[in-house]
Amino acid sequence: MTSKESILAAIQANKPALLPLPEQPEFPYDSNLTEQYRQSLSLNGGEAREAKSLKEVTNHLQEHFRNSQMIVSLSEKVAGNFDVNMADDPHELEHAEVAILEGEWGVAENAAIWLPEEKLHHRALPFIAQHLIVLLKKDRLLGNMHEVYARINVEGSGYGVFIAGPSKTADIEQSLVIGAHGPRSMTVFLLD
Amino acid sequence: MKPAPTHAAAAEEFLKDSERSHWHDETLWHVRSKRDVSAQRIPEWEQLRTLASQIKDHVLSNLDNLLLQFEKNAQANGIEVLWAKDAQEHNDHVLRILEENQVRQLVKSKSILTEECGLNHFLEDKGYDVVDTDLGERIIQFNKQVPSHIVMPAIHLKKKEIGDIFHKHLGTEAGADDPKYLTEAARQHLRQKFIQAHAAITGVNFGIAETGGFVVCTNEGNADMGTHLADIHIACMGIEKLIPRAADLGVYLRLLARSATGQSITNYTSHFHRPRKGKKMYLILVDNGRTKQLGREDFRNSLKCIRCGACMNTCPIYRRSSGFSYNSTVPGPIGSILSPGMDLNKHSTLPFASTLCGSCSDVCPVKINIHEQLYKWRQVITKEGPPQTSKRWAMRFGGQVMSKPRLFDLMGKMARKSLSISPRGFVYNSFNAWGKHRELPEVPKETFKDWYRTNRNDDK
């Protein structure tokens, strides 16, 4: 008997009588989504800004990353200075200073932004970059996780991730430190 | 073989350092308080707990079919699925994958299952340098320890000690103990490891039967740094980690991080369905005692656990005795009901390391009746476990005395008399475990029965 067969046989011998699978719940969410998103991201160590125009994004780049050698933008709306198509292998992104991505959905309750791999070019990009900027249209904000799972197709992408803040840790005496392995900051621009 | 120390003996060791044990207690209680604040923000919290429990009820009652569905879909996605009856077979699979792909450098993110299987030691014996990349795990790996908590692996260490460990292993300045500085040093060190790694090993938080993919949650992003740079991804998953539908994640993800640390969600929640082009993804499904636990009606529910650690943070015993005192991969209340199922002799004192206050069951996001199972394990252990001679004699003696009212009165009288005249050393000695850190109550002059007789005589 293979291990698979013996495990399955043991389950059949030991499992209880079939219990029903409950229906998926719907929990309505009635807060101001933009304001709630801003608060949630702040609690996770990131910063959300409402932006009237893309000018505010470019101003932000000018202000904080003027001298950066490697800004990787996957948004057609904002220019970077490194063409991601030049990187065949994710290791070539090792020195990425800033990654600029476009989010698909945002969740107000916990600040998570859904990024399927089609929006990442390389799966490693939002992790290996020193700083992360995400652009999200306000009409892509949802209330909670149930709402977002009802709209996305997780197996449609080989990989997809909810990112809800910068890389962080509290493993040393529970002191919060931002920038464990991945981005040292996450800024989300909420666009009209 | 030397028997494992009892929980009480190991806890005594931890309690010798009262400053540390006090800090440990308060820090974990603080985490528990953050959990409360976060849970109270969700009006449907209790409904979510019920749903999470019911979904797992279904999973456990249909586990064989769901595993087959999961395997089929995962294979269609290009994931190679392997089955392991026990820890040894799991480790052998990992070794074979590493050998076949000629891997030398590997990184690993947090996986309690690989701890359970002793994977690191196994691979180190074969000459591999396994690099744990979760900061807490890297710290204890340097310090040659195992995790003392499933979510906060290095919670037993103070920053001064971590500074010393990093000074020795990473060359940080002697005496430096600023968490920010130490984390930065680990970041630089581990970034090199990520860049060089050929294979990345991760655990699995949830396997999705209907889509054949799996989800890994971290705050540091270490699982992603590892898997997206390496050619080989090996994911190790206990068979009970399955959920039927992707949409079920909506329920579990709202509960998991809130229960664990009070965060609304971990900063990274990664869904893996297919390997990167030209790369390989393996998934190992591990039994290692889980199907046996499934057959124990009273203890089956323990398999619903999503490893949030909330029961540890709230437990008055865990907080005051630390994870090591349990001598078990998963410590705390949940470990005390899981581990006796794996090895009843080794873990026979764990179900007694509880006040049965029930706080663990109250905070459990999947509503496991932990304290009731602790009580049930006690009954099993008393019948089938290793002999506890002194306890058995004491219970037999107590039973005799309490079943005979005259004898009970006489013994009471003798005890009151002798306690009031005995020298202190006669009462507080190694035979009196209760009196080790406590004073006995003052001996009353008369019993309630005597008092009643004097004061309510007319009612007779």
With pLDDT > 70 as the criterion, what percentage of chain A qualifies?
100
Contact B362, B49 (CB under 8 A): no
Answer yes or no: is A5 within a domain. no
- Among A143, A79, A134, which Cα is nearest to A104's? A134
Interface with B, mutate which of A1, A5, A7, A24 (most B CBs under 10 A): A7
Model confidence at B32: pLDDT above 70 = yes
Run of H or E residues at B271: strand B268-272
Out of B48, B77, B183, closest to residue A172 by CB: B183
pLDDT digits (tens, 9 = 90+) for A40-99: 999 999 999 999 999 999 999 999 999 999 999 999 999 999 999 999 999 999 999 999
Q: C-alpha angle with apex B434: B429 to B437, nearest 5 degrees?
A: 80
- Residue A186 · residue A46 · CB < 8 Å: yes
**What pLDDT is attached to residue B432?**
78
Q: Alpha helices, DSSP H only, in B179-299?
A: 179-196, 222-229, 248-260, 290-295
How far is B331 from B342, CA to CA, in rounded Å? 13
Q: A123 CB near a chain B CB, below 8 Å?
A: yes
Give how far Cα B290 sits from Cα of A88, B30, B87, B237, B417, Å: 43, 33, 12, 12, 54
Q: What is the DSSP letter of B72?
A: H
- DSSP-derived pairing of the beta strands B268-272 and A159-163: antiparallel
Q: What rounded mean pLDDT belongs to chain B?
A: 94
Question: A11 and B63 in contact by Cβ < 8 A?
Answer: yes
Q: Is A9 a domain residue?
A: no
B2 band by pLDDT with thresholds 50, 70 and 90: low
Domain coverage including residue A153: 29-191
Task: Please check whether residue B234 is in contact with residue B97, taking contact to mean a CB–CB distance below 8 angstroms.
Answer: yes
The CA distance from B318 to B68, in Å, is 38
Tell me, rounded to whole angstroms, the distance of Cα A58 from its chain centroid.
21
What is the CB neighbour count within 10 angstroms for residue B167? Answer: 17
Nearest chain B residue (CA) to A116: B271
User: What are the φ/ψ torsions at residue A124 (nearest 5 degrees)?
Assistant: -75, -20
Q: Within a domain: residue A15? A: no
Domain presence at residue A42: yes
At residue B460, does pLDDT exceed 60?
A: no
SS3 A80: coil
Q: What is the mean pLDDT of residues B68-74?
A: 98
Count of other CB atoms within 10 angstroms of residue B124: 11
Comparing B151-165, B333-347, B402-416, which segment has the lowest mean pLDDT? B402-416
In this structure, of A105-114, B260-269, B278-287, B389-398, the range with the lowest mean pLDDT score is B389-398
Closest chain B C-alpha to A130 CA, distance in angstroms: 11
Which residues in chain B (252-281) have CB-CB distances under 8 A to chain A? 253-254, 261, 263-276
Q: Length of chain B in residues, anyone?
A: 460
**Which H or E run contains B28?**
helix B18-40
pLDDT computed for residue B340 by the predictor: 95
Nearest by CB to residue B190, choosing from A6, A168, A181, is A181
pLDDT at B232 over 80: yes
For residues B48 and B367, give the distance between their C-alpha atoms in angstroms, rounded to a whole number.
Answer: 10
Enumerate the residues of chain B whose CB falls inside 8 A of the CB of residue A22.
Answer: 51, 54-55, 58
Q: Please, which pLDDT band fits residue B459 given cuts at 50, 70 and 90? A: low
For residue B3, name the pLDDT band (cuts at 50, 70, 90): low
Please give the interface size between A and B, counted as residue pairs whose CB atoms are below 8 Å apart: 253
Tell me the C-alpha distance between B88 and B119, whole Å: 9
Does residue A10 lie in a domain region?
no
CA distance B113 to B409: 54
Rounded mean pLDDT, B35-46: 97
Round to whole Å and give the CA distance between B318 and B316.
Answer: 6
Which residues, at least 6 apart from B137, have a Cβ–Cβ distance to it below 8 Å?
Answer: B110, B147, B153, B154
Q: Do A171 and B64 touch (CB under 8 A)?
A: no
| pLDDT tens-digit map of B263-303 | 999 999 999 999 999 999 999 999 999 999 999 999 999 99
Put simply, the chain A residues between 129 and 148 with a CB less than 8 A from any chain B CB are 144-146, 148
In a domain, A180, yes or no: yes
A11 occurs within a structural domain: no
- pLDDT at residue A177 tops 70: yes
Whether residue A2 lies inside any domain: the answer is no
pTM of the predicted model as reported, rounded to 2 decimal places:
0.94
Which pLDDT score is estimated for B420?
81
DSSP 8-state assignment for residue B207: E
Cβ-based neighbours of A108, under 8 Å, separated by 6 or more: A29, A31, A33, A34, A36, A37, A40, A141, A142, A143, A144
Nearest to B222 among A110, A157, A181 (CB): A181
Helix A3-14 and helix B63-76, axial crossing angle in degrees, nearest 10: 150
Q: Which of A181, A163, A172 is nearest to B133 (CA)?
A: A181
B109-113, B257-261, B263-267, B445-449, range with the lowest pLDDT:
B445-449
CA distance A144 to chain B (A): 8
CATH of domain B42-288: 3.40.50.10420
Taking the Cβ of residue B145 and every Cβ of chain A, the question of whether any pair is shorter than 8 Å is answered with: no
Confidence at B230, pLDDT banded by 50, 70, 90: very high
Q: Which residues pair with A188 in a beta bridge?
A: A48, A134
The CATH number assigned to the domain holding A162 equals 3.40.50.10420
Chain B residues within an 8 Å CB radius of A145: 249-250, 253-254, 265
Q: Which residues of A87-108 are buried (b: 16+ CB within 10 A; e: fewer)?
A: beebebbbebbbbbbbbbbbbb
pLDDT band at A172 (very low <50, low <70, confident <90, very high): very high
Looking at residue A103, its pLDDT comes to: 98
What local confidence, expressed as pLDDT, does residue A24 receive?
A: 86
Please say if the pLDDT value at position A165 is more than 90. Answer: yes
Smallest CA–CA distance, residue A138 to chain B, in Å, is 20
What single-letter amino acid sits at B178?
D
Question: Among partner residues A6, A7, A154, which is closest to B239 by beta-carbon distance?
Answer: A7
Per-residue pLDDT at B117: 98
For residue A185, which residues of chain B lie inside 8 Å, CB to CB?
none
SS3 state at B286: strand
- Neighbour order of strands in the sheet with B242-243: A141-142, A105-107, A113-116, A159-163, B268-272, B213-218, B206-208, B242-243
Average pLDDT over residues B93-100: 98
Per-residue pLDDT, B361: 98
* Residue B166 contacts A where some CB pair is shorter than 8 Å: no
Going by pLDDT thresholds of 50, 70 and 90, the confidence category of residue B73 is very high
**Is a pLDDT exceeding 80 seen at residue B458?**
no
**Start-end ranges of CATH 3.40.50.10420 in chain B?**
42-288
Give, in order, the Cα–Cα distances in Å from B172 to each of A173, B369, B407.
Answer: 18, 46, 69
Q: How many domains, chain A?
A: 1
* Residues in chain B closer than 8 A to A158 (CB atoms): 77, 272-276
pLDDT band at B430 (very low <50, low <70, confident <90, very high): confident
Distances (CA, A) of A153 to A119, B207, B210, B211: 14, 15, 12, 9
- Search chain B and give the residue with CA nearest A46: B267
Q: How far is B26 from chain A (nearest CA, A)?
A: 12
Please report the pLDDT score of residue B425 as a whole number: 81
Residue B83 and residue A25: Cβ atoms within 8 Å? no
Residue from B219, B242, B276 to probe the interface with A (highest A Cβ count within 10 Å): B219
CB contact under 8 A, A20 and B77: no
Average of per-residue pLDDT across A99-112: 98
Give the model's pLDDT for residue B237.
98
**What is the average per-residue pLDDT within A14-41?**
94
The torsion angle over the Cα atoms of residues A117, A120, A123 and A125, rounded to 10 degrees, is -170
CB contact under 8 A, B297 and A16: yes
Min Cα distance A34 → chain B (Å) is: 17
From chain B, the residues in CB contact with A2 under 8 A are: 83
Mean pLDDT of A163-168: 98
Q: Check CB contact under 8 Å for B251 and A25.
A: yes
CB atoms within 10 A of CB B153: 26
